[in-house]
Structure formats: structure tokens, C-alpha cells
Amino acid sequence: MSYFDGPKLLDFKNSPPHLQFNKYVLTGYRPLSTYRDCLRSLFYLHNELGNIYTHGVPFFCFLLFLPVSIPWAEVDEWWIGVVHYLACLSPTLCSVFYHLFMNHESGAPTYDTLLCFDMFGVCLVNTFGALPIIYITLLCYPFCRRVAMLGYLLLSGYGVYCALRARSNVHRLRSFAWQALFRFVLFMLRLIGAGRGSPASLRLYLSMDMLALLGGLVNISRLPECFSPGRFDYWCNSHQIMHIMVILSIVHLHWGMLEDLTWLKGFHCP
């Protein structure tokens, strides 16, 4: 058998029980496989291939091109660029590992570990992505800035705990609600003039959160496959749409941070 020849794919009823989480995806399931065979699944069509590549390709693009676009030499707070870079990479990298190896022959225990790893990546982008925003928004209020950053880290830790214990997509989405509310308060501070930052970045950050929320809602509603089971088994199902929304959300985060970094280099607190 050629390296590019796939195994016989399974239907929903005959797939491993821990992979039966979307009853509207009827075919294209990989059988339990070794690590080598999981890697080989990069080269043949199955119902997780779109999920792998919709995050795998952006991961390599972010890995290579984001460092070039960050104005490292012009920003005194070098940690902002590092934390932002890690925030953009983490969800895509963790997602690729989850979708690529989720059918490993060791079964449900490995799947649960990979799912936790995937959720950890989502938690990292929510945490690392927001810390530079908090810092810049409260730039002229050092004490409030330290308290807010510490509070957000504690809130993120609670979000990680809830996300890792969640048993459904709805509960996982709820795990990040408090972090989203915290960011919304920051954005309102900017809107009323009490917070700092580039005026152009606020619209981008709001778009970032709206895209992420929309992607999560599409994922839990199983749109569009719930209307036509089997038609979207390989392409354009809810999880792939969510992946694309997540990538667009990360891109808006990056654009917003570039606006803030450009603003930061020319601003001094009164």
C-alpha cells in the first residue's frame, strides 16, 4: 500500500465511540491508528482533513510572517510582542495536534488529553492576547494596570479549569464568558476616553471578539450540517467554519495590536 493510500473509512455508527460527537457528520471517519498512520492521514481525504489544514496552514503563516510585521525595535516593552506572538500561535498549533491524533489507537484517554490540549490553546489566546491590551488601555494608571492584569490572569486560570472540565461545546464556550466580559469593560473604557490606545484598534478588537463568538455559536449549533446530514461530512461543516472564524479573529487581534504598538511609540502619559 502506498503511503498516500488511506485505510477504509468508517461511518458514524462504526466509528470509535469517543469520536461520535457530531451525529450530522455521517461518513469519513478514520479508524483507530498508530502515530505513523495518523501522520499519514495528512495525505488522503477524511472528515478531519479540513479541520487540520484550516488551522495548520495559518499556523505556519503566523509562525513565519508575524515576527516580521511586529515593530520590535520601536517598542520599549518587548514582552508585548512576545506574548502577542505566542497568543496568535497557540490555538492553531494545539488544534492541529488535536485533530491529527484524535483517532490514535490508545483510544479515549489519549483523545481526552488532546482535547484538553486544544482547550489549553484556546485559553492561551484568550489570556496572552488580552494582557497587552490591558497594559496599553491602563497605561497611565500603573496600580490599576497591575491589579487588572493580575485579576485577568486569575480569571483566565478559572476559565482553564472550567474549560478542561466541560463536557459539551456549550459549557466550553461558557468557560470564556468572563474573560470576554472583562475585555468588553476595557473596550468601553477606551470608548468613553478613560482608557488609552489607538482609536483605530478598538474597532478591530471588537471585530475580533465578535468573530470568535460567532464561530463558537456556529460550532455548537452544528450549522449547516444539521439541515442536511451527510452533505457536509468533508467540507464546510460547522467546525471548519468555526476554524476560519478563529483565524479571522486572530488576524483582527494582530491588526489591532499593530495599531496600538504604532500609537504606543509616540505616546507619553501626561
Question: 10 lies in a domain?
Answer: no
Q: Evaluate whether residue 226 is within a structural domain.
A: yes
Q: Does 252 belong to an annotated binding site? A: no
pLDDT in tens, 82-136: 999 999 999 999 999 999 999 999 999 999 999 999 999 999 999 999 999 999 9
Give the span between the Cα atoms of 100 and 49, in whole angstroms.
8
54 inside domain:
yes
Q: Which domain holds residue 40?
A: 19-264
Within a domain: 5 = no
pTM: 0.94
- What's the structural domain count of the chain? 1
Q: Is 2 inside a domain boundary?
A: no
**Residue 46 known to bind ligand:** no
DSSP, residue by residue, 132-155: HHHHHHTTT-HHHHHHHHHHHHHH
Task: Please state, in angstroms and as integers, the Cα–Cα distance from residue 18 to each residue in 107, 114, 166, 200, 243, following that order.
Answer: 8, 12, 15, 45, 21
- Are 130 and 80 spatial neighbours (Cβ–Cβ below 8 Å)? no
Classify residue 111: in a domain, yes or no.
yes
1: in domain: no
The per-residue pLDDT for range 69-85, each reduced to its tens digit, is: 999 887 778 899 999 99
Residue 195 lies in a domain: yes
Asked whether residue 171 is marked as a ligand-binding residue, the answer is: no
The CATH number linked to 217 is 1.20.1070
